Copies of this chain bind each other. A is one copy, B any other.
Amino acid sequence: MSGATSPDLAARLRSAGLRPTRQRVALARALFEREHHHVTAESLHAEAKAARNPVSLATVYNTLNQFRDAGLLREVVVAPGRSYFDTNTGHHHHFYVETDGELHDFPSDKVTIEGLPVPPKGTKLSRVDVIVRVRR
């Protein structure tokens, strides 16, 4: 097995202004070296432990916030006290299955939103979130 730290990841962290520490690289691997997915702080913490790369929960929180601030992750709030981090930072929207807390992406290329009002004076657009809520 390749125990080598992916140089890409280290570089990516560095260029985001983050030192590629053991913990950050471990979390970055769990996050970015696979398909796009959604994590919570708890789930990522558990995943890191399972991969024999234990990271304290506080560090998981710090790291998720840093990655989000650096634009590496996108935070999606679907319900009170339920915050997901999405490794897909491109344009897309979400399905949220209310009955079991699942979150799924769907691409935004087919979706067009028209007639949105202009942002209030003195503000600039940050982004538009569309959450399609469904239940079983």
Query: Using a CB–CB distance below 8 Å, which chain A residues touch chain B?
Result: 75, 77-81, 83, 95, 97-98, 104, 106, 110-117, 119-120, 122-136
| A94, closest chain B residue (CB) | B129
Instruction: List residues of chain B with CB within 8 A of the CB of A122.
Output: 136
* Known A111-B115, A113-B114; further 15 A-B contacts with Cβ < 8 A: A77-B78, A95-B117, A95-B119, A97-B120, A97-B123, A112-B113, A113-B113, A119-B132, A120-B134, A124-B134, A126-B133, A128-B130, A129-B129, A129-B130, A130-B130
- Contact call A112/B111, Cβ cutoff below 8 A: no
| A93, closest chain B residue (CB) | B116
- Contact call A124/B130, Cβ cutoff below 8 A: no
